[in-house]
Copies of this chain bind each other. A is one copy, B any other.
């Protein structure tokens, strides 16, 4: 069983209401470390056997077309070791 990770974040210029709300709440809870918070999605995809380059290309395609909304989001595909 291999694992492929797809991380999806809003583009930096796009408003991130969720991240903002979290960022505003942290100080109220006494946490002062954050300058700013952005919230995104993380997909853990279990695949059969070791991820092949072909498979990764496929995942890239799926991320591009489906997992991320590239009008407002960017994504990275990683193999989890």
Contacts and interface: CB of A to CB of B under 8 A. Distances in A.
Interface residues of A, number: 35
A29 interface: yes
Contacts of A8: 42
Interface string A14-38: 0000010010011001010111111
Nearest to A18: B41
Given A29-B66, A40-B42, 7 more contacts: A22-B66, A33-B47, A33-B55, A34-B47, A35-B45, A36-B45, A37-B44
Interface of A: 1, 4, 7-9, 19, 22, 25-26, 29, 31, 33-48, 55, 58-59, 61-62, 65-67
